[in-house]
Amino acid sequence: MYLYTKNMNSSNRKGLGFGITSGVITTLGLIIGLDASTHSTTIVVTGIILIAIADALSDAFGMHISSEYEKKSTPKSVWQATFSTFLSKFIFALTFIVPFLLFSLSVAIIVSVIYGLLLIWIISYILAKKQHIKPYKVILEHVAITVLVIVVTYYLGNWLSTFS
């Protein structure tokens, strides 16, 4: 993964790191919540497509505004962060469709959780190495947050299913 290479500028690294992390956690939360409340592959896949578009645009716009607030930002760096956020979030969110095309719903959920946790682990490891921090602390923190999102959205999805 070329998340933190010397060839990539800080605006692109920022957008890519944010986009991937947000894409993974948001998409996992959506998948788990929709599965818990509907048990429908069609609804889960539709949700992934919708969140890949709507949330990627929303986060890219948020990154755009946030980058404009930075004193050191230039118009070029603002747009680089915006575009890299959109692209990374959009692409990584859409990759979660693949397990649902290949497996049954229950297997696809497990594969998605493993895939998502693996991506968070990799990004956390790269980040820790870049910052010269012990990787296990960063990985543990980020994986724990991801697991918290999974657990909360599972129980929330189950609870919301009682209203239908």
Nearest of 162, 12, 1 to residue 82 by alpha carbon:
12
Mean pLDDT by 10 residues, the chain (164 residues): 60 83 95 97 98 95 91 89 93 97 98 97 93 94 97 97 90
d(CA 123, CA 138): 10
- The predicted structure's pLDDT at residue 3: 46
- Is 122 a domain residue? yes
- The predicted structure's pLDDT at residue 72: 86
Domain total in the chain: 1
- Is 24 a domain residue? yes
- Is 156 a domain residue? yes
- The predicted structure's pLDDT at residue 5: 53
- Is 63 a domain residue? yes
State which residues form the domain around 22: 10-161
Prediction pTM value: 0.89
- Is 2 a domain residue? no
φ, ψ dihedrals at 99, nearest 5°: -60, -30
- The predicted structure's pLDDT at residue 7: 64
- Is 109 a domain residue? yes
d(CA 129, CA 123): 10
- Is 4 a domain residue? no
Contact criterion met (CB below 8 Å) for 125 and 139: yes
CB neighbour class for 27 (10 Å; exposed up to 12, middle 13-18, buried from 19): buried
Tokens at 103, concatenated:
């497996």
